[in-house]
Structure 1
Amino acid sequence: MSRDYANRKPRAGAKARAPQRKKAPKRSFPYLAVFVILTLVIGFGYFLWSINGSSDSSVVSEPAQQPKKKTVSTATVEAPKKVIKKDPNALPPKPQEEWTYLEELENKQVEIDLPQTGVVSSGIYQMQCGSFRQESQANEMKARIAFQGAEAQVRRSEGTNGVWYRVVLGPYPNKRDAEHNRHKMQNAGLNGCLIWLWE
């Protein structure tokens, strides 16, 4: 026979029992914690009191000078010098700038030693950027060079290989000018330009 205790109704004459709560144990006063805190506070106060006068004693005062004895009947006594306290965080005075290279550069002359190439130059250079069998191709390259701000010429030459149309720039009075124009052509995509001395 099974009994249902969960749904069982209480008896009519029985009193309902109220749940009993356990009483919390009384806590004693924390004497040890209070003692440790008081000891730390007193120790910290003593530490502050002991370092209070240490900053004044760190400045070394100069001893007062002894009065100088003079042979004159009215001797004068010098007063002791005052000790000036220096701020340890103060910055040193700004140094004065004494630069001399500005004046030297204004009057400086630079001498350059050019290496001897061994080539006797008459001072006239030419630059050839292409050589074509057909004159129309040479004229196309001449137009591309004109877009770069340089003036080119198409020259017809006959040799053992037949007729060629050369695209030539110049003459230039020195090689530096020819090199300058060659760099302009290289930036435009014309990489086949050659410089030679025109005889």
Structure 2
Amino acid sequence: MPQKDYVKTARPKPRAKPGAAKARRGNNRAATRSSRPWLLITVTAMLLGGFAWFLWYLKQQPADTVSTTPAVRQNTQQADKSGADDLPAKPVAEPYQYIKELENKEVQVEVDTTGREPQGPFQMQCGSFRQADQAEAMRAQIAFAGFASAVRRTEGSNGVWYRVVLGPYDSKRQATADRNRLQQQNINGCRIWNWT
């Protein structure tokens, strides 16, 4: 048994608008106009013919056209008679001497050691806690990031502290590189100190 579409049959058909018949007649006129493409063919043929004539005209012109001014004609006739080129003479020596000077030049640099960073081993402290459990948790987080750290117990004037430290590092650059890697793992707050 074929299925029947009850939704389409229940909808009423829309009423025709009064201007719709005129619009359909206008479309028919446009269709009859486009059925006569002789004007389009004629214009296209004229354009192609003009382009072909332009190419033929360019082919007929000599390749090296000479200006028609009398001064230019006279100069070209004299150059043809003499047989010499109009190029300037080749220089005998190099006019610039800096090339030879730079080959034999020595540069002396004075190194100022007063502004350099302090040398020696460095350590990086990533946390200081009152509870040993918090320090161990930070140490485990650093271990998961791939670095070895230690928890050091220190007693000061204001009580006992548990510090999480990494190092020692030979240079501050190595410590900074490790700190940047820790920051990528969302472990922030690490400070680099000179090992004393």
Query: Quick check: TM above 0.5?
Result: no
Q: TM-score range by the shorter chain?
A: 0.3 to 0.5
TM-score normalised to the size of structure 1?
0.44
Rg larger in structure:
1
TM-score normalised to the size of structure 2?
0.45
Q: Which has the higher helix share?
A: 2
